[in-house]
Structure 1
Amino acid sequence: MQPHQRFPIEDASQVGEARRAALQLASGLGFDAEASGRLALIVTELGTNLHRHVGPGRQAALLMAAVDGEVEVLSLDQGPGMDVHRCLQDGYSTGGTAGTGLGAVRRMAARFEAFSAPGRGCVMAVRAAATVATAAQRGWTLPQAGFDIAGVNLAAPGEHISGDGWTVRHLDDHWLVVVADGLGHGPDAAEASDRMMALLHQTPAPAASPAAVLERAHDPMRMTRGAAVTLVRLDLATPALTVSGAGNVSGRLISGVVDRSLMVQHGTLGVQVRRLQDMHYEWPAHAVLVLHSDGIQTRWKLDDVPGLLQAGPAVIAGWILRDHLRGRDDATVVVAVPRRPASSQTQ
């Protein structure tokens, strides 16, 4: 997965910068003229909303990346919050405008999710597709079995390449989700995490055991500087997962009543590890899985934001990153939830 570009929105000129970057992404993905126009309007509307209603000093920013052939745009802020349901209705405005912008964003998007809390700001996650046909289909024809998984990946300040990486491999009866944090940051760290991503997908028939997959990857990873890695097997038939890892990529299962940390080994894959072990966990009802690199603070909680765990995984990942980014290293947050019918999450 490519890292997200971050565009702070402190003044109106930065909205144009974000729009131009979005169109560059669209061009690389083969967007047609109509789809590019939709994306430009989406970014302009989201950026303008941040400038008008949030203002400076409140972490207002747009994050953008190419994801699955689409452009993903996340709008983050720590402003006063808003009533998302009312703001999506045409004609509703708190700033003297026509009040059609956010509703138009939802109509133009291939997928739209949003969550806001009073005094805690808002996170919106929008996907723009390359053609009208894919926009109509995306997110509405997914099979019922499986998981919704989304992630946010930012490079360290001053870097254009992230040393973190994450990916998902889909198999018949289970999915494998990995997050890797290459030692240090920059191109050499990215080489290590990219190597782990490739090894996961190149394995002819991955074992049921995440520990066995990582043991097999350890020697090939010696060609790199090494990485902290956590690999999770998500079972499709039963609400359960198995995890193995080396290093400080953290994992938690969180619901309204459960907050359980996932145990991994010390060490660095490709450098030195103890014998890797599998740890098995039941998946509690209504729980979400969160994996993150050490670019995110470890002591965070979500129980002070009622309703957030019912939002989409991209929104949850964006919320965690917005509030708990250390700001001095690469940072990745990946969130998985048992698949729900695709819909707009409006809390």
Structure 2
Amino acid sequence: MGAVERPECLPTTEDAVWIRVEEASSVGAVRRAATGLAQRLGFGGTRVAEVGIVATELGTNLQRHAREGMVVLRVARTDTEASLEVLAVDRGPGIADVSRTMRDGHSTGGTLGIGLGAITRLADWSAVHSEVGAGTVVVARFHPARTPGTAQYATGITRAIGSETVCGDAYAIRREDQRLVLMVCDGAGHGPLAATASRRAVRVFCEGPWSSPTVAVERIHRELMGTRGGAVGVAELNPATQTVRYAGIGNIAGSVVTPASRRGMVCLPGIAGHRARSVRGFDYPLPHGGVVVLHSDGLTDRWQLDPGSGVLSADPVVIAAVLLRDAGVRQDDASVVVARLPAP
């Protein structure tokens, strides 16, 4: 009998800083925040400078050419180190020729002129997705020392409401053998008390393994008693059967998205930690090329991923950023997790 892979709770990326880029002074704020965070994470001087160059270029492009540009600085921690992601998101006008923009030295009009090609050289891993008239997402990932980067198969993004410093939504991702298990919790309300509930859900979820999403949701429901409670959804992606099993309480929306369709998954009414019907799991086919999306009601459910844009084949962080940009509700905390089955 072969060895069984130890269950692993993958690092949850912390969305540390959100910066709206509308004025020239915002570019300096982006650079200072990015380099300051890199220094706090223990990056060396050369690496900090490279982070600063990329942050400045992305911020300048947003300020001069984009609409509703945002830079998100994200930190992912493992047992041995913390990596930094710089994520730039905007609503337009988009890039008509991404391949040309990827060439070193190409400037889109008075920026540093290093081009997205040089950004990909300075970062350990990067990705660009752009749709003319819709907007652009650029992500660059840095480790303290240069480390060849790879695409992810599951990740999430959270955003706090308004001026709140903590988000009441949280997520976690587990890998058990070849199965991938996702959890999203939307703590009731917002602010520190909502965050307390959602973080407890993360802790309980990471204590698995779980025999099924139903068992995980039931345990989280019991453990949230005494907190504000919230909505919770758990999805298990199984490559052996090419299915996803989903169980949830409350208003966590789950969907299986393929180039041909989007199918919603059933989440039963209730409030985890307070009142809930008997939890049930539901199975759905997950064909090759499909992705699973879970999100809180900080996103409207009226979104579509245009298969013709190539977004469905993009890295999950790119898909999550597009969804939050296009469907995010600013009057609520928001979280979205995107995953696809790992390559066999």
Question: So what's the TM-score if we normalise by structure 2?
Answer: 0.90
Q: State which of 162, 171, 187 in structure 1 corresponds to 2:176.
A: 171
Question: Aligned residue for 1:184?
Answer: 189
Larger relative contact order (Cα-Cα within 8 Å, sequence gap ≥ 6): 1
SS at match of 2:15: coil
Identity %: 38
Q: State which of 31, 34, 47 in structure 2 corresponds to 1:22.
A: 34
Q: CA 1:96–1:244 in structure 2 vs 1: closer, same or farther (change >3 Å)?
A: same
Q: Write the letter of the residue equivalent to 1:92.
A: H
1:6 Cα deviation from its structure 2 partner: 1.5
Tell me if structure 1 keeps the 8 A contact 2:105–2:115: no
Tell me if structure 1 keeps the 8 A contact 2:173–2:182: yes
SS at match of 1:229: strand
Deviations 1:37-70 (A, max 9, x none): 111111111101112222xxx2111111212321
1:1-347 matches, within 5 Å, as 1=12, 2-54=14-66, 58-68=67-77, 69-82=82-95, 83-95=97-109, 99-132=113-146, 135-136=147-148, 138-139=149-150, 148-203=153-208, 205-207=209-211, 209-303=212-306, 306-339=309-342
1:331 Cα deviation from its structure 2 partner: 0.5
Work out the number of aligned pairs and report it.
Answer: 327
For the residues of structure 2 that align with 1:330 and 1:260, how far apart are their CA atoms? Answer: 24
Deviations 1:235-267 (A, max 9, x none): 142311111000111111111112100111111
For the residues of structure 1 that align with 2:16 and 2:250, how far apart are their CA atoms? Answer: 24
Q: CA 1:60–1:172 in structure 2 vs 1: closer, same or farther (change >3 Å)?
A: same
For the residues of structure 2 that align with 1:313 and 1:173, how far apart are their CA atoms? Answer: 18
For the residues of structure 1 that align with 2:308 and 2:320, how far apart are their CA atoms? Answer: 14
For the residues of structure 2 that align with 1:258 and 1:101, how far apart are their CA atoms? Answer: 36
Tell me if structure 2 keeps the 8 A contact 1:117–1:305: no
Tell me if structure 1 keeps the 8 A contact 2:123–2:141: yes
1:223 Cα deviation from its structure 2 partner: 2.5
Q: Provide structure 2 residue ranges, at least 5 long, that are not aligned to the other structure.
A: 1-11
Q: Write the letter of the residue equivalent to 1:169.
A: R
Two-structure CA RMSD over aligned residues (Å): 1.8
Q: CA 1:46–1:106 in structure 2 vs 1: closer, same or farther (change >3 Å)?
A: same
SS at match of 1:297: coil
Question: So what's the TM-score if we normalise by structure 1?
Answer: 0.89
Tell me if structure 1 keeps the 8 A contact 2:237–2:341: no
Q: CA 1:214–1:300 in structure 2 vs 1: closer, same or farther (change >3 Å)?
A: same
Tell me if structure 2 keeps the 8 A contact 1:152–1:314: yes
For the residues of structure 1 that align with 2:52 and 2:312, how far apart are their CA atoms? Answer: 30
Tell me if structure 1 keeps the 8 A contact 2:31–2:52: yes
SS at match of 2:39: helix
Tell me if structure 1 keeps the 8 A contact 2:159–2:335: yes
Tell me if structure 1 keeps the 8 A contact 2:103–2:115: no
SS at match of 1:327: coil
1:24 Cα deviation from its structure 2 partner: 2.9
SS at match of 2:144: coil
